[in-house]
Amino acid sequence: MKNFSKLIYPYVIWMTIMIIVPMLMIVLYAITVRGNDVLTLQFTLGNFLRFFEDSIFPSVLWRSLKMAFFTTIICIAVGYPAAFVMAKMKPNNAAMCVLLVTLPMWINMLVRTYAWRGILTRISLSSEINVYIGMVYNFLPFMILQIYTSLSKIDPNLIIASHDLGANDRETFLRVILPLSLSGVVSGITLVFLPAVSSFFIPKLLGGGQYVLIGNLIEEYFISTGDWNFGAAISLIMAIIILISMYVTRKLDKETPEAND
């Protein structure tokens, strides 16, 4: 068996080239001055100071976090009942529902968001609501599938036992099903919150350019302005925030009992 561990090497090489090296380059850009060449690197913290000096950049960051937070809450509120109903279905029907939930993902996300644009420009809602619709629409399937998986893993005998011991449906749900399904909710949160906080094309396409999020700022500074150093600094600030939120969700995950362990 020991020899199998060598199989991880291709992935390690891949990860080094595709993830570690680019990350290091982002760090390097973020802490250096514009227009450097390799021989005369000038280090600075100016890019970070520039971000926090002006209240608009932190306000965009705050807006992105808020948007991702509420998107996640809405996804849980809509996704949990859906997953719950699916988990109670007969296996064939449940499989059908899983298929229906994943079906939209067969089409590219960009094309689907573009289709929403066509619909939403004809109904005049505020650009904020448009962006919420796009976010929830795109990320809801991830939440439903995660919760559904954890719910369907619960041993039915546990529910029978709960009823035997005198718990009614409500108590059974709150004291048995909900705690056992929390691990699904937590991984759903990771899968919704992280892409939502960094999404740039959904606000761009559905917000009519009026709704700038942190992902749009990064895109703007890399592509339109050509200020890679500041763009890299914003990316790094966001990466740190994502790391923190992953740490927090991990902690939450550990505190919840696993369904099958």
Partner 1 sequence: MSWSKIIKVTTAISLLFPLVGCTGGEKEVEEAGDAKELFGCNVINIYNAGEYIDESVVPNFEKMYNAKVNYDTFESNEMMYTKLLGGNSYDVLVPSDYMIEQLMQEGLLQKLDQSAMTNKGMLDPFVIEMQKVFDPELEYAMPYFWGNVGLVYNKENVSEDDLKTQGWDILKNEKYKGRIYFYDSQRDGFMIAFKALGYSMNTDNTEEIQAAYQWLREMNETMEPAYVTDEVIDEMVNGSKDIAVMYSGDATYVMSENEDLGWYAPEQGTNLWIDAMVIPKNATCPGLANAFINYAISEDVQVKNTEFVAYTPVLTKVIEDMGGEDGDFSEISSFIPRTEYEKDEVFHYNPELKRQLSDLWNKVKIN
Q: Is 21 in the site for partner 1 (CB under 8 A)?
A: no
Q: Is 212 in the site for partner 1 (CB under 8 A)?
A: yes
Q: Is 58 in the site for partner 1 (CB under 8 A)?
A: no
Which one of the spans 134-142, 150-158, 180-188, 220-228 is the region binding partner 1 (CB under 8 A)?
A: 220-228
Q: Is 40 in the site for partner 1 (CB under 8 A)?
A: no
* Spatial distance between the Cα atoms of 230 and 248, rounded to a whole number of angstroms: 27
Please enumerate, as own/partner, the contacts of 129-133 that have beta carbons within 8 Å and a separation of 24 or more. 130/206, 130/207, 130/208, 130/211, 131/67, 131/202, 131/203, 131/206, 131/207, 131/211, 132/67, 132/70, 132/71, 132/74, 133/206
Residue pair 202/113 in contact (Cβ under 8 Å)? The answer is yes
Q: How far is the CB of 192 from partner 1 (least distance, A)?
A: 23
Residue pair 236/30 in contact (Cβ under 8 Å)? The answer is yes
Q: Is 110 in the site for partner 1 (CB under 8 A)?
A: yes
Q: How far is the CB of 72 from partner 1 (least distance, A)?
A: 23
Q: Is 253 in the site for partner 1 (CB under 8 A)?
A: no
Q: Compute, in degrees rounded to 10, the torsion defined by CA atoms 205, 211, 217, 219.
A: 0
Which one of the spans 9-17, 53-61, 166-174, 177-185 is the region binding partner 1 (CB under 8 A)?
A: 53-61
Q: Is 128 in the site for partner 1 (CB under 8 A)?
A: no
Q: Can you give the binding site for partner 1, defined by CB under 8 A?
A: 54, 56, 59-60, 110-111, 114, 117, 121, 124, 201, 204-205, 208-210, 212, 217, 220-227
